[in-house]
Structure 1
Amino acid sequence: MIISGIKWMFLIIGTMIGAGYASGRELWQFFGTESTLGIVLFSILFFICTTVILNISYEKESGHYIPVLNELMGKRLTKLYDGMIVLYLFSVTVVMIAGGGATLQVLHIPYWYGVIIISSLLVVLFIWGINGMTSMNAFIIPLLIIFLVGTLTVFQWTTGFSFEIDLTSQSNWPAAFTFTALNILPLIAVLGAIGGKIKRKGEIWIASGGSAFILGTISLLYNESLLKVSNEVMLYEIPLFAILKHYPYFMVLIMTGLLWAAIYTTAASGILGLCTRFYEYLKMPFWLLSLFLILLMVPLTTFGFSQLISILYPIYGILNLYVLAAIILHPIVNKFQLE
């Protein structure tokens, strides 16, 4: 049970820590100054959401996200949000592929070469399907967490720890709702595909609690580190490199590799959600479905990594607030219905 719970925990974290989050761009977009309370609130909301989604998936023994949406939204709204999820997964995977190209530019690899590399590896991954994804997450995500937390901790140590704890100056706490809402749809898409594979309810608590704690801790540490280089963040396509410029070049190489790997796992999560949704209609192997989807996505990466995130993410965050409300209220509504 513990091993399975940890496996799902890494799947959740792998879905969250993608191009936007791991690079720091997404955190900087939503949080920044006076956001400590907002990040704590995000952790609590994230725990509630993953627990509710996993419980519904487990009870429905779902193989894709439609049963979860039906339970949360009702059949009428499910059609609307089904379309939104498809559009969301498609556009966010475009962001991930663009991020893969942008990240490798640090190693002097041309942008389009980077895009081709990550696209090819995504197609190869889906020869093995979900099992390949969970195994890869279980290997990559712990490494990313160790190196990211280590890098940020050393940076804080050398510049002097300074965390905001004055609750009277935490005006940015509402950002927790839009930031959590932003990440709801990919979680529904990915966790809705594993309901039939969860064996015990204990796995759900391990996955939800562990992922919420780890993501909350990293978010707090990351946000405070970015605040210390706030004057330089806008000069970088990927804000993490504003912090890494204070480190030896080999650390830049290591973090670039791990950042790219995180982008890859999140892109894979997006493709998985799309493939599981369309499989019943097209009956094509996942690798062929992923190839077709990626060929549609690649031309859209020309919009630029940070521009895509700055435009798309806040819009989806607001639209998804209704989904967030439905998830939070679901246990309460269910309890009244049972009574």
Structure 2
Amino acid sequence: MVVDGLKWMFLIIGTTIGAGYASGREIWQFFGHESGLAILIFSVLFTISCFVVLTISYQEKTENYSVVLARLMGPRFSKGYDVLIIVYLFTTTGIMIAGGGAALEYFHVPFTAGILFMCALLFIVSIRGVKGLTGLNSFLMPVLIISLILTLTVYFRLNADFSFSNWVSQRNWASSFTFTSLNLLPLVAVLSTTGTQIKHRGEIWIASIGSGSILGSVSFLYNESLLAAAEDIMLYEIPLFALLESYPHSVTAFMAVLLWTAIFTTAASGLHGLSTRLRSMLDMPSWLLAVLLLCLMLPVTELGFSRLISLLYPIYGILNLYLLVVVLIHPFFLSKRL
């Protein structure tokens, strides 16, 4: 039970820590100054959201998100959000591919070549389905999390100046709702494919609490570190590199590799969630569907990584607020069935 719970926990973290999050661009977009309380609220909201989605998926033995959406908001509204999720997964997976190309530019790999390389690997993982995805996340996520925490901790201790005395007067707490709602759609899409593989309800508790606690802690540490480097962030496409400016080249290169893996795992999660939904609607082999989707995503990557995040993420965060409200009130109805 514990091993399986950790497996789902790493799937959740791998789905959330992508191009926007791992690079720092997403955290800087939503948080920033006076955001300690907002990040704490996000951690709680994220934990509840994961628990609700996984529980519905476990009860209904789902293989894609359509049944979960119908349980949450009824057949009428679920159809509208079904379309929104398809558009969201399509565009954000394109953002991840663009982020992968941007990360490889650190190693002097041309942007286009980096994108094509990422698409080839995404095609291979998509053929293996959810087993390939969970295996990938179980291997990569612990390394990424530990390395990111160590890097941020060192930078935080040397550069940041934080005090708990200003938490009461913080005014950015509302961003916790839009940040959670932004990350909710990929969670619904990906976690809804696990319903037939969850064997015990204890796995849900481990995955939900573990992922919420880890992401909340890393988000807080990341945000405080970015605040200390606020003057340099605008000079970088990827804010993480602003924090790594004073590190040895070997450390920066290692973190660039880890950043790319985070981007890749989120892109793989998005492509998997999109493919499983479309396969229930289209009579098409999985490999052909993956090729078609990747080809259609290539034009999206031309808009650039930071531009896509600054334009689309706030819009999706607002549009998903209704889904977040529905998820948060669902436990009151869910408790009657447990």
TM-score (norm 2): 0.97
Quick check: 2:160–2:224 contact (8 Å CA) kept in 1? no
d(CA) in 2 for partners of 1:21, 1:252:
17
d(CA) in 1 for partners of 2:125, 2:217:
30
* SS of alignment partner, residue 170 of structure 1: coil
- 1:253-305, CA deviations, whole angstroms, 9 ceiling, x for partnerless residues? 10010100010000011101111001123343323211110100001111110
- 1:125-184, CA deviations, whole angstroms, 9 ceiling, x for partnerless residues? 122111111001001110000110000011112225524442232100000000000011
1:251-262 map, 5 Å: 251-262=251-262
d(CA) in 1 for partners of 2:261, 2:127:
18
d(CA) in 1 for partners of 2:213, 2:86:
29
Amino acid at match of 2:47: F
d(CA) in 1 for partners of 2:311, 2:17:
19
d(CA) in 1 for partners of 2:334, 2:9:
25
- 1:115-134, CA deviations, whole angstroms, 9 ceiling, x for partnerless residues? 01101100011221111110
d(CA) in 1 for partners of 2:44, 2:313:
21
Amino acid at match of 2:253: L
d(CA) in 2 for partners of 1:123, 1:334:
37
d(CA) in 2 for partners of 1:167, 1:243:
24
The residue that corresponds to 2:290 in the other structure is 290
d(CA) in 2 for partners of 1:137, 1:233:
29
d(CA) in 2 for partners of 1:13, 1:68:
20
Quick check: 1:31–1:172 contact (8 Å CA) kept in 2? yes
The residue that corresponds to 1:74 in the other structure is 74
The residue that corresponds to 1:88 in the other structure is 88
The residue that corresponds to 1:266 in the other structure is 266
d(CA) in 1 for partners of 2:161, 2:59:
45
**Equivalent pairs, count:** 337
d(CA) in 2 for partners of 1:285, 1:250:
43
1:135-174 map, 5 Å: 135-159=135-159, 162-174=162-174
Structure 1 residue 36 and structure 2 residue 36: aligned? yes
d(CA) in 1 for partners of 2:163, 2:285:
49
4+ aligned runs moved over 3 Å, structure 1: none
Q: Percent identity?
A: 54
d(CA) in 2 for partners of 1:307, 1:35:
23
d(CA) in 2 for partners of 1:144, 1:217:
14
Unaligned runs of 5+ in 1: none
Structure 1 residue 315 and structure 2 residue 315: aligned? yes
The residue that corresponds to 2:48 in the other structure is 48
Quick check: 2:159–2:225 contact (8 Å CA) kept in 1? no
